[in-house]
């Protein structure tokens, strides 16, 4: 496979992951004690959950030659994992902490048009995951998972053509190529998730958050970092294993 | 950042211990035939010194307050370390199988390059105001790559790409090493941070997490490496020594608080 395709795929995938993280309602430590809107953990944990699930579902579609199907599989896995995380988190906020999911960044939820400011406890920056954050998080999961799937597809198909990485007799896919591509895509996932996290300063509510305007800068940083990672990744194809 | 009472730790000494010590421990079994028992032990010890180096680097950079928590930079550096390490091992083979010995050095250098690019993105594009971000991210990425290579070689019994590919990557242990080494590198400072952080005590905990990881690596190599029990036992014994030292240091410093009361409220990070 063309080396340029691999490098461009890693770059594009990295941008999709980095951009996707800007959509995810990352609440960090304040959200963990229900004093800020979002999921109560950091980006790295959400990247671990969403990214790994997305890569597992993308890898499940490995035998398909269709790039779109692998990207869709990754997107579905990541979005599903993030959706479940946000939903169960909301159960804890609503029935455990007893607070109303509400955002302090907007007066009216842009999707449901529900009033927000009345329900925000004084002294906090909102709590739980209101509808707009949930929808935003799903978009982020879809983007991130598709990006991870793209990277996985590109590296798997580049490696699988090498004789060293050929599929074992009786197997339709190469386990070596699949695992190397999987761990590489996971690495790119984490790198871009943390770069995006640096850009948003740790916490963001979603696309309605004023911090979302920083997206172009985050995209630029992810583009350059992923480009370099893609070039390093090409060494995997160049060197082989023996 | 060293608190009252504890001797300061020189970052250059830790860097030398981790980078040079780690590379020597990784290369010694390659250069000198030490047999199937001693080789994996030295590989694992190379990873241990690299983890201690990484724990010191993360403590220096994260005491500035990254805004994203300590674990995130740990995960990122391990991601870079895994990418760089595997790409280095594979990339060294593009000059032919004679140049395979270049692999580990190339892995560490590649990881440091990617780490430098990511950190430069942080300071130049994202305008993060942490003066030592670039230096510490480079150190962390190098330490991460060395720790992954060391533990991978300890499981596979050799530093060759083919052996690591079949017994570490294809078995999925690489994903476990990713998280295991992240925890070993980021946990010490994450657990000890605060105004009274004492770097010596943090590094004692780093020794404990590193050797605990080594003991687990020993168990993982059961069935792959003959030296699995040696790696596991040495790791477990050294873990006991370090966790004991850490608990004693914690009790000693808690005593000073018990006698003189709480410290004044200042520079909460």
Task: Give tens-digit pLDDT for A68-115.
Answer: 999 999 999 999 999 999 999 999 999 999 999 999 888 899 899 999
CA distance A193 to B128: 16
Pairing of strands A102-103, A126-127: antiparallel
Q: Is the torsion defined by CA of B84, B86, B92, B94 positive or negative?
A: negative
Residue B150 has pLDDT above 50, yes or no: yes
| Mean pLDDT in residue range A151-170 | 86
CB of B182 closer than 8 Å to CB of B61 = no
Residue A175 has pLDDT above 80, yes or no: yes
**Predicted confidence band at B267 (pLDDT cuts at 50, 70, 90)?**
low
If one compares B245 and B66, the residue with the highest pLDDT of the two is B245
CB of B148 closer than 8 Å to CB of B82 = yes
**Predicted confidence band at B268 (pLDDT cuts at 50, 70, 90)?**
low
Task: Give tens-digit pLDDT for B42-74.
Answer: 999 999 999 999 999 999 998 887 778 788 999
Task: Give tens-digit pLDDT for B101-129.
Answer: 888 999 999 999 999 999 999 999 988 88
CB of A196 closer than 8 Å to CB of A167 = no
Q: Is the torsion defined by CA of A90, A96, A100, A102 positive or negative?
A: negative
The answer to whether A238 contacts B94, with C-beta atoms less than 8 Å apart, is yes
Task: Give tens-digit pLDDT for A196-237.
Answer: 999 988 789 999 999 999 999 999 999 999 999 999 999 998
Do you know the residue count of chain A?
242
Q: Of the candidates B178, B185, B167, which has an alpha carbon nearest to the alpha carbon of residue B223? A: B167
| Mean pLDDT in residue range B219-225 | 90
Q: What are phi and psi of A129, to 5 degrees?
A: -120, 95
CA distance A206 to B88: 38
ipTM: 0.92
Residue A190: which of B76, B89, B97 has the nearest Cβ? Answer: B76
**Predicted confidence band at B269 (pLDDT cuts at 50, 70, 90)?**
low
Residue B1 has pLDDT above 50, yes or no: no
The residue behind tokens 């795929």 is A9
Q: What are phi and psi of A206, to 5 degrees?
A: 145, -160
* Mutant choice from B65, B81, B118, B161 vs A, greatest count of A C-beta within 10 A: B118
Residue B91 has pLDDT above 50, yes or no: yes
**Res B214: pLDDT:** 96
Residue A180: which of B92, B93, B169 has the nearest Cβ? Answer: B169
Interface check for B105 against chain A (CB to CB < 8 A): the answer is: no
**Predicted confidence band at B2 (pLDDT cuts at 50, 70, 90)?**
very low
Residue B75: which of A44, A217, A220 has the nearest Cβ? Answer: A44
**Residues of chain B numbered 4-33 and touching chain A (CB < 8 Å):** none
CA angle A218, A224, A229 (to 5 degrees): 120
A209: phi > 0 → left, psi -120 to 50 → alpha, else beta; which?
Answer: beta
Nearest-CA distance B237 → chain A (Å): 31
**Res A190: pLDDT:** 93
Residue B5 has pLDDT above 50, yes or no: no
Residue B3 has pLDDT above 60, yes or no: no
């Amino acid at each position: 496979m063309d080396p340029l395709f691999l490098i461009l795929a890693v770059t594009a995938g990295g941008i999709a992951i980095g951009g996707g993280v800007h959509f995810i309602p990352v609440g960090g430590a304040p959200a963990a004690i229900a004093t800020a809107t979002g999921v109560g953990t950091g980006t790295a944990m959400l990247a671990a959950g969403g990214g790994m699930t997305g890569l597992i579902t993308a890898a499940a579609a490995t035998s398909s030659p269709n790039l779109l199907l692998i990207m869709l599989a990754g997107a579905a896995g990541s979005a599903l994992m993030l959706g479940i995380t946000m939903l169960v988190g909301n159960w804890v906020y609503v029935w455990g902490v007893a607070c109303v999911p509400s955002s302090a960044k907007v007066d009216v939820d842009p999707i449901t048009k529900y009033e927000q400011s009345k329900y925000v406890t004084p002294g906090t920056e909102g709590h739980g995951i209101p509808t707009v954050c949930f929808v935003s998080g799903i978009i982020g999961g879809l983007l991130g998972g598709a990006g991870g799937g793209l990277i996985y597809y590109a590296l798997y198909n580049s490696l699988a053509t090498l004789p060293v990485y050929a599929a074992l007799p009786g197997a339709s896919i190469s386990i070596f190529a699949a695992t190397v591509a999987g761990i590489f895509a996971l690495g790119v996932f984490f790198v871009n998730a943390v770069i995006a996290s640096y850009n948003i300063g740790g916490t963001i509510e979603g696309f309605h958050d004023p911090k979302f305007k920083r997206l172009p800068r985050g995209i630029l940083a992810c583009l350059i970092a992923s480009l370099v990672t893609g070039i390093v990744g090409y060494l995997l194809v160049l060197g082989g294993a023996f | 950042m060293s608190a009252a009472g504890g001797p300061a730790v020189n970052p250059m000494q830790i860097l030398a211990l981790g980078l040079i010590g780690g590379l020597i421990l990784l290369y010694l079994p390659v250069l000198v035939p030490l047999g199937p028992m001693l080789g994996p032990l030295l590989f694992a010890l190379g990873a241990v010194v690299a983890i201690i180096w990484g724990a010191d680097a993360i403590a220096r950079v994260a005491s500035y307050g990254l805004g994203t928590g300590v674990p995130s930079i740990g995960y990122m550096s391990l991601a870079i370390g895994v990418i760089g390490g595997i790409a280095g091992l594979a990339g060294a083979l593009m000059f032919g199988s004679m140049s395979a010995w270049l692999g580990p050095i190339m892995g560490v250098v590649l990881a440091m390059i990617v780490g430098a690019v990511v950190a430069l993105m942080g300071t130049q594009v994202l305008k993060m105001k942490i003066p030592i971000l670039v230096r510490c991210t480079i150190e962390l990425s190098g330490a991460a790559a060395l720790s992954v290579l060391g533990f991978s070689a300890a499981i596979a019994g050799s530093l060759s790409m083919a052996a690591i590919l079949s017994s570490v990557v294809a078995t999925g242990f690489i994903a476990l090493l990713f998280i295991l080494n992240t925890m070993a590198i980021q946990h010490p400072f994450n657990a000890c941070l605060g105004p009274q952080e004492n770097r010596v005590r943090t590094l004692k905990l780093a020794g404990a997490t590193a050797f605990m990881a080594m003991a687990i690596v020993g168990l993982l190599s059961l069935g792959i490496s003959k030296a699995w029990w040696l790696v596991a036992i040495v790791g477990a014994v050294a873990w006991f020594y370090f966790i004991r030292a850490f608990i004693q240091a914690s009790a000693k410093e808690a005593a000073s608080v018990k006698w003189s009361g709480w410290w004044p409220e200042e520079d909460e990070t």
